[in-house]
């Protein structure tokens, strides 16, 4: 489905021009649903297939390999295909994304869930929310987890709004989208190498602090670029987006380890799904507010708000358990 949606965006951009904006809104909703589905499925699969110490390793290794492939494909596309306009350059990269999604399908078919001969029919959607609420009431760790993840919502939204800020300034430049993707991939590859040397001392609390610090640094760089006419702004925004991407991945890895450290029992899947639902709703509402602010005040204003949200979230780090990721 993701391959079809991305290909539709690329084709529509070529044929429709400006009216494609409404199609992008629908596409974003569909891709968001698919992303949520994949996130819940991945965590559920990890909880039945991996040891505690393997969760962080698999997440980071997956990210590093993916980022390497993205970097190679993006660089090759920019070098070997010459584009006459920024729009054609961006559309070409969309087509590459659609092809990548399609190529992933055979590999997905290799994933086999753990056998469960006693599997029974799961709860209906109407039953999930009451059951999730009962799990929140019963487990203190889950209440703390949801509170912290909601406070750190800026880590998941950072990349989107930093990208919007960059696109507003440099979106009409040929290869600019390639630059964004390349810097983001490079940041994730560097994170993979750093992780390999620091995972023995990494903790869930420390990774949240690191992720928050990266978003603060990215926000300050973006505000500086907007306030002063800094040279090489395109490269600067590449660094900003790399910091945001790494922060999001650091947070995601820590979140998975924390969740899988405690989740279990009969309602494991419900707890995972409900946690994703709560944090996704918080992300949606926050993103809507930031989007309205960007439309009314300018694209840099959401960056100010992301900075404020992150600084406030860092005040909750004492609630985060010091779970060793490689324990």
| DSSP per-residue codes, 162-229 | HHHHHHHHHTTSTTHHHHHHHHHHHHHHHHHHHHHHHTTT-BHHHHHHHHHHHHHHHHHHHHHHHHS-
Distance CA 147, CA 278 (A): 10
**Helices 52-80 + 176-198 axis angle, to 10:** 150
CB 41 within 8 A of CB 12: no
Phi/psi at 219 (5° precision) = -65, -40
Residues near 101 by Cβ (< 8 Å), separated by ≥ 6? 2, 3, 6
pLDDT for res 308:
92
**Coil vs helix vs strand at 324:** strand
Q: Among 266, 286, 272, which residue's Cα sits nearest to residue 39?
A: 272
Distance CA 186, CA 197 (A): 17
pLDDT for res 314:
92
What DSSP string runs through 56-113?
A: HHHHHHHHHHHHHHHHHHHHHHHHHS--SSHHHHHHHHHHHHHHHHHHHHHHHTT--P
Segment (H or E) for 10: helix 2-16
Rg (CA), the chain: 20
pLDDT for res 87:
74
pLDDT for res 123:
64
pLDDT for res 146:
92
Distance CA 161, CA 302 (A): 7
Long-range contacts (CB closer than 8 Å, 24 or more residues apart) made by 77-80: 77/178, 78/175, 78/178
CB 316 within 8 A of CB 148: yes
What are the average pLDDT values for consecutive 10-residue runs of the chain, which has 327 residues? 90 74 82 83 77 76 86 78 70 85 88 63 71 87 92 85 69 65 84 80 90 92 78 72 87 86 76 85 88 79 88 91 78
Q: How many helices (H) and strands (E) does the chain have?
A: 12, 0
């Amino acid at each position: 489905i993701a391959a079809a949606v991305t290909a539709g965006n690329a084709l529509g951009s070529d044929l429709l021009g400006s009216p494609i904006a409404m199609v992008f809104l629908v596409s974003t909703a569909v891709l968001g649903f698919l992303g949520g589905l994949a996130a819940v499925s991945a965590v559920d699969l990890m909880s039945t297939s991996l040891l505690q110490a393997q969760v962080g390793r698999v997440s980071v290794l997956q990210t590093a390999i993916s980022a390497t492939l993205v970097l190679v494909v993006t660089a090759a596309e920019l070098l070997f295909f010459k584009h006459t306009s920024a729009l054609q350059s961006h559309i070409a990269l969309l087509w590459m994304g659609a092809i990548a999604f399609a190529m992933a399908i055979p590999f997905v078919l290799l994933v086999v869930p753990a056998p469960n001969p006693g599997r029974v029919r799961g709860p209906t959607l109407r039953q999930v929310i009451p059951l999730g609420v009962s799990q929140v009431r019963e487990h203190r760790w889950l209440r703390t987890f949801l509170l912290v993840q909601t406070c750190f919502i800026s880590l998941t939204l950072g990349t989107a709004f930093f990208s919007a800020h960059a696109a507003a300034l440099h979106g009409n430049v040929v290869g600019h989208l390639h630059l964004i993707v390349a810097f983001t991939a490079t940041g994730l590859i560097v994170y993979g190498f750093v992780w390999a040397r620091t995972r023995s001392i990494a903790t869930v609390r420390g990774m949240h602090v690191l992720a928050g610090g990266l978003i603060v640094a990215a926000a300050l760089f973006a505000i500086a670029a907007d306030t002063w006419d800094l040279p090489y702004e395109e490269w600067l925004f590449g660094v900003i987006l790399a910091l945001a991407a790494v922060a999001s991945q650091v947070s995601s890895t820590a979140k998975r380890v924390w969740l899988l450290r405690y989740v279990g029992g009969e309602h494991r899947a419900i707890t995972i799904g409900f946690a994703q639902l709560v944090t996704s709703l918080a992300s949606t509402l926050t993103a809507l507010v930031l989007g309205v602010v960007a439309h009314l005040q300018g694209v840099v204003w959401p960056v100010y708000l992301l900075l404020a949200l992150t600084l406030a979230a860092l005040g909750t780090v004492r609630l985060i358990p010091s779970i060793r990721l490689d324990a």
